Structure 1
Amino acid sequence: MSVGGCMRFIFLAVFLCVASNGYALTMGQAIDKAGQQRMLSQRIAQSFILTGIQPDNARYKAQLDKAIKQFQENLDTLQANNDAISIRGELLTVRNLWKPFKAVATGPVTKQNAAELLEKSDALLTAAHAYVQKLETLSNHKGAELVNVSGRQRMLSQRIAKHYLAYYWGLESEASLEKLYADLAEYELMLTFLKDSQFNTETIKKKILKTEGHLKYASKGFDGDMSLKGDRLIFVITGTTDTMLHNMNEITHLYASELENTEQVAAF
């Protein structure tokens, strides 16, 4: 056998071995990654709308493409996680909803498609959240709830932006504003829940306080307390909600690491 043929044989053998064994995720990592899907369902929708509002801004199209790619990669990784075989039915629901959602998200950016994507984003979010809840139950550990809740905060930051942009572009009127303020109230409530957790490290406490400050700043924009308008206000609000997303992403990873450490101790 030639050297090239030998290398191809070795590669194929390794690939088949990995495929048969599945991909090993800790429960904290699985909940974190599944929770990202909730956020991405909303980020894709808001990025699609942003692209429609400002079609000449290449950053929003790049943001949209990146979010779509990340959702697909996460879905494939979760599908290969053999530790969650018992709840793959819920993941199949997510996959089935993702196919038509992705078709619209990668299609022409029009108001009609944006309205359809808004509706589909809610259904995809519901299914993704149900899968995270199943993972949390499967974990059977208090720390898993913190990963779930903090991960949901990532989603709320993007859904808040989505509702504002839907209102701004005229896709929904009063309904979008009502949903936006409901999300702001939930975000603040669950941030208080996380702040009171006995599992918080000093690093987590500082990051939660930092996120509180960004929430208050974003709320000023929604309440009309800023003198900014139009594209400038969109830039500030989406920038602030993205910062909230970044902060909560770090906090979620920290909670996931704490859960992973607990799992390792329990294994001994």
Structure 2
Amino acid sequence: MQRRTLLLAALPVGLALPAHARIAQLGDAIDKAGAQRMLSQRMGKAWLGLLQPELAPRARQVLDDSAARFERQLKELLAFAPTPQITGSYKALLHRFGDYRALLLTAPDREQVNELLKRSSEVLNLAHVATTQLQEHSSAATARLVNLSGRQRMLSQRLALFFLARQQGARMDLVQRETARSSGEFEQAMQTLNSAPEATAAIRDNLTLAQGQWLFLKNALGSQSQTAQAANDVFTASENLLAVMETVTGQFARALA
């Protein structure tokens, strides 16, 4: 498989951004920061999808799009960082993503599945720290909801990532533990978001739609099949749920702006 060149090869921390790319509002910053968590898992999911010939063309597009978005948003977040601590978190994320990127640039291999899970989790953890720091920089209650709804995007991708990893030989006990934990966290967060006073009627309508998409994903995750069709079902359901939660997170973010 041909290697792809990602854009972050030599990203300077002080890189100037076009005016239209700058983050102006904290709500937007928390939204994009939280999206970095999701992208860490979506890139891993797509890398594993390349191992399925029927899924590979779509997986390649998702991987390329996700990598480009991660890199673009990392530049924006570095430029926006309002405190030295948050700047430090994004410098650490930049460094750790270099290790992850090196693996993503290789042709997918079953022997590297456990390493993929390790590196994607390291990037996820650093992105989560920075997102939480940005949330705590705001005094608005809505900041927590932007963070929480944004985290649902990550969980949709992490669940799919571990399903595909299981098909490629990842440890069953690890997959089962992560699937149970992520599913439980997703359902608990949905209850919190639905009951939040800040959730408008439009947000609740989209949360209802997300709940329906969650049921599709949950059903697909329950398959014990090792077939390409099972992988495609999970991949597609996770993308559909992600799309709805992107909308919900954006709605909460605009309320914070």
User: 1:201 aligns to what?
Assistant: 200
Residues 53/17 of structure 1: CA separation in 2 closer, same or farther (3 Å cut): closer
Unaligned runs of 5+ in 2: 1-14
User: 2:5 aligns to what?
Assistant: none
User: 2:228 aligns to what?
Assistant: 231
Q: CA deviation at 1:62?
A: 1.6
Q: CA deviation at 1:181?
A: 1.9
Give distance in 1, aligned partners of 2:81 and 2:216: 43
Give distance in 2, aligned partners of 1:190 and 1:118: 24
Q: CA deviation at 1:214?
A: 1.6
1:26 and 2:38 correspond: no
AA aligned to 1:41 is S
User: 2:97 aligns to what?
Assistant: 98
User: 2:77 aligns to what?
Assistant: 78
User: 2:10 aligns to what?
Assistant: none
Give distance in 2, aligned partners of 1:171 and 1:18: 40
AA aligned to 1:67 is S
AA aligned to 2:94 is R
1:54 and 2:47 correspond: no
CA contact 1:24–1:82 (8 Å) conserved in 2: no
1:192 and 2:155 correspond: no
Correspondence for 1:241 among 238, 241, 244: 238
Q: Identify the range of structure 1 (143-152 vs 162-171) with the bigger mean alpha-carbon deviation.
A: 162-171
Give distance in 2, aligned partners of 1:121 and 1:145: 24
User: 1:253 aligns to what?
Assistant: 250
User: 1:266 aligns to what?
Assistant: none
Give distance in 2, aligned partners of 1:234 and 1:56: 8
Residues 82/182 of structure 1: CA separation in 2 closer, same or farther (3 Å cut): closer
Residues 235/85 of structure 1: CA separation in 2 closer, same or farther (3 Å cut): same
Unaligned runs of 5+ in 1: 1-15, 261-268
- Number of aligned residue pairs: 242
Give distance in 1, aligned partners of 2:236 and 2:54: 18
Give distance in 2, aligned partners of 1:47 and 1:24: 28
Q: CA deviation at 1:70?
A: 1.0
TM-score with structure 2 setting the length: 0.87
CA contact 1:37–1:128 (8 Å) conserved in 2: yes
1:44-193 to 2 correspondence within 5 Å?
44-54=43-53, 57-81=56-80, 83-193=82-192
Find the structure with the greater CA-based Rg: 1
Q: CA deviation at 1:83?
A: 3.3
Give distance in 2, aligned partners of 1:82 and 1:111: 38
CA contact 1:156–1:183 (8 Å) conserved in 2: yes
Give the SS at the match of 1:83: coil
Q: Identify the range of structure 1 (45-54 vs 33-42) with the bigger mean alpha-carbon deviation.
A: 45-54
Residues 55/115 of structure 1: CA separation in 2 closer, same or farther (3 Å cut): farther
CA contact 1:221–1:233 (8 Å) conserved in 2: yes
Give distance in 2, aligned partners of 1:185 and 1:205: 20
AA aligned to 2:47 is F
Give distance in 1, aligned partners of 2:56 and 2:17: 41
Q: CA deviation at 1:229?
A: 6.7
Give distance in 1, aligned partners of 2:122 and 2:87: 18
Q: CA deviation at 1:170?
A: 1.1
Q: CA deviation at 1:217?
A: 2.3
User: 1:264 aligns to what?
Assistant: none
CA RMSD of aligned residues (A): 2.2
Give distance in 2, aligned partners of 1:231 and 1:56: 8
User: 2:40 aligns to what?
Assistant: 41
Give distance in 2, aligned partners of 1:163 and 1:81: 33
Q: CA deviation at 1:224?
A: 3.9
Give distance in 1, aligned partners of 2:149 and 2:29: 14
TM-score with structure 1 setting the length: 0.84
